């Protein structure tokens, strides 16, 4: 979503995760945690962690500046991005990892712990709702990286934990607006792929 919103044209190398390409010695040289994504610069420098990659790309490309222009904008945008990544996005992903039967083979699941994340997600969502009642976007009147993290957090909380923005709320209207933005096309593609992955696991469990 970030590179689409910025209009950055860059080569993307897909890795075959189910066959473990991200754990090959060659890839572990680039990213010792064996995770995607990794940004590889022309001089061979490798950078991991999605938000750090986004920040770097923002700094080396032209407007729109999705991390903000001036010090106080940059601080406010980063504050919201971090609040939403720590308070909504990561707990929603963890909730899915620890509760979905389809991913049980990949995680040492602890469903009780997952349930304990619910209160924090709900209060972060309600704080976001109040903010969006006052402003068009998460960090003010312009679309920023905080909207991307917030949108993914809201969608994952909805799909994985069943926590939904109230119908007719400013939060629901904002999520709908972001969802129809051009940059959200990759999100819709990814959700489709996850659906296919889960269906394939369900089918293979049924036939076993």
Ligand X SMILES: N[C@@H](CCC(=O)N[C@@H](CS)C(=O)NCC(=O)O)C(=O)O
User: Applying CB under 6 A, which residues contact ligand X?
Assistant: 17, 22, 34-37, 49-50
Tokens coding 12: 């993307």
- Whose Cβ is closer to ligand X: residue 51's or residue 127's? 51
- Whose Cβ is closer to ligand X: residue 146's or residue 171's? 146
> What distance in Å separates the CA atoms of residue 146 and residue 81, rounded to the nearest whole number?
4
Q: In the bound complex, what is the minimum distance in angstroms from residue 68's beta carbon to ligand X?
A: 20
- The enclosing H or E element of 145 equals helix 145-161
Phi/psi of residue 117, nearest 5 degrees: -85, -15
Q: In the bound complex, what is the minimum distance in angstroms from residue 48's beta carbon to ligand X?
A: 6
Q: In the bound complex, what is the minimum distance in angstroms from residue 37's beta carbon to ligand X?
A: 6
Question: Do residues 113 and 79 touch, judged by C-beta distance below 8 A?
Answer: no
- 7 φψ region: left (φ > 0), alpha (ψ -120 to 50), beta (else): left
H-only helix segments in 40-184: 50-60, 71-84, 90-99, 111-116, 118-134, 145-161, 170-179
> What distance in Å separates the CA atoms of residue 125 and residue 119, rounded to the nearest whole number?
10
- Whose Cβ is closer to ligand X: residue 124's or residue 149's? 149
Nearest by Cα to 37 from 23, 47, 26, 24: 47
Q: In the bound complex, what is the minimum distance in angstroms from residue 66's beta carbon to ligand X?
A: 16
Q: In the bound complex, what is the minimum distance in angstroms from residue 39's beta carbon to ligand X?
A: 10
Q: In the bound complex, what is the minimum distance in angstroms from residue 197's beta carbon to ligand X?
A: 12
- Whose Cβ is closer to ligand X: residue 34's or residue 140's? 34
Which single residue brings its beta carbon nearest to ligand X? 35
- Whose Cβ is closer to ligand X: residue 75's or residue 190's? 190
- Whose Cβ is closer to ligand X: residue 39's or residue 170's? 39
Tokens coding 87: 């308070």
DSSP structural state of residue 86: I
């Amino acid at each position: 979503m970030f590179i689409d919103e910025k209009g950055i044209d860059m080569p993307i190398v897909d890795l075959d995760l189910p066959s473990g390409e991200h754990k090959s010695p060659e890839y572990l040289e680039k990213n010792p945690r064996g995770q995607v994504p990794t940004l590889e610069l022309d001089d061979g420098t490798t950078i991991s962690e999605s938000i750090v990659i986004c920040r770097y790309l923002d700094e080396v490309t032209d407007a729109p500046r999705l991390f903000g222009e001036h010090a106080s904008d940059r601080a406010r945008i980063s504050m919201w991005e971090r609040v939403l990544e720590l308070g909504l996005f990561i707990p929603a992903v963890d909730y899915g990892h620890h509760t979905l039967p389809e991913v049980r083979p990949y995680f040492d699941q602890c469903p009780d712990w997952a349930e304990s994340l619910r209160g924090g997600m709900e209060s972060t969502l309600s704080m976001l709702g109040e903010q969006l009642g006052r402003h068009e976007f998460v960090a003010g009147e312009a679309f920023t990286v905080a909207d991307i993290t917030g949108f993914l957090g809201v969608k994952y909380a909805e799909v994985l934990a069943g926590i939904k923005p109230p119908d007719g709320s400013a939060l629901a209207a904002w999520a709908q607006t972001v969802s129809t933005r051009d940059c959200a096309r990759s999100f819709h593609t990814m959700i489709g792929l996850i659906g296919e992955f889960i269906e394939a696991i369900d089918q293979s469990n049924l036939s076993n």
